[in-house]
């Protein structure tokens, strides 16, 4: 389709398309290894709910995207009917059921992979608007 594509994750073993798409290993909780204003589009797929400090990650994404850019975020939908019913009866949303202390002792996980924050659309919208306003005020 004419796009240059670059994939990134903390775990290269999860990436299945290394023959077709360039891959760079990086940790999105740290400074990203890309120049300012580098990307037109950023996809944050099923990651934001795992972050302890999503504000810093969004700030870093604002740094690496061009002036005319698009960020696409996906996260588990906690507002679907099944998730709402589960919350009513169990007090936890669908995909956010594991008690954190049980997850810490999970030997099958090489990288800690706990869903931390169940986001609603409005929460993400607020998160993105805060960072954008702060970066505009600072002149960037």
Q: What is the CATH number of the domain that holds 2?
A: 3.40.50.150
User: Are residues 87 and 36 part of one domain?
Assistant: no
Does one domain contain both 45 and 110?
Answer: no
Domain limits for position 110: 77-117
8 sits in which H/E element? strand 6-9
How would residue 136 be classed by pLDDT, with cut points 50, 70 and 90? Answer: very low
Q: How many structural domains compose the chain?
A: 2
Question: What is the per-residue pLDDT across 3-25, written as a single tens digit (0 to 9) for each?
Answer: 888 898 888 887 888 788 889 99
The answer on pLDDT for 124 being more than 70 is: yes
Q: What is the per-residue pLDDT across 42-100, written as a single tens digit (0 to 9) for each?
A: 999 988 998 888 989 999 998 999 988 888 999 999 999 999 999 999 888 888 876 65
123 in the same domain as 108: no
88 and 37 share one domain: no
Is the same domain home to 40 and 4? Answer: yes
Give the integer Cα–Cα distance in Å for 33 and 31.
7
**Within this chain, do residues 6 and 31 fall inside the same structural domain, yes or no?**
yes
Q: Is residue 52 located within the same domain as residue 86? A: no
My answer on whether 28 and 65 are in the same domain is: yes
**Closest CA relative to residue 49, chosen from 127, 130, 131:** 127
How is residue 99 written in tokens?
Answer: 């008690």
Q: Could you tell me which residue, 104 or 59, shows the higher pLDDT?
A: 59
Q: How far is CA 101 from CA 4, 25, 51, 87, 106, in A?
A: 41, 28, 17, 20, 9
Question: What is the mean pLDDT of the segment spanning 28-54?
Answer: 91
């Amino acid at each position: 389709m004419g796009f240059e594509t670059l994939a990134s994750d903390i775990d290269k073993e999860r990436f299945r398309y290394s023959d077709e798409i360039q891959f760079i290993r990086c940790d999105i909780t740290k400074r990203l290894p890309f120049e300012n204003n580098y990307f037109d589009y950023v996809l944050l797929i099923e990651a934001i709910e795992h972050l302890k400090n999503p504000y810093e990650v969004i700030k870093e994404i604002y740094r690496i995207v061009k002036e005319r850019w698009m960020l696409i975020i996906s996260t588990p939908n906690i507002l679907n009917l099944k998730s709402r019913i589960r919350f009513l009866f169990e007090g936890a949303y669908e995909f956010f059921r594991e008690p954190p202390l049980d997850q810490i002792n999970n030997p099958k996980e090489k990288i800690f992979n706990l869903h931390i924050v169940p986001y609603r659309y409005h929460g993400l919208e607020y998160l993105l608007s805060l960072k954008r306003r702060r970066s505009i005020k600072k002149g960037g």
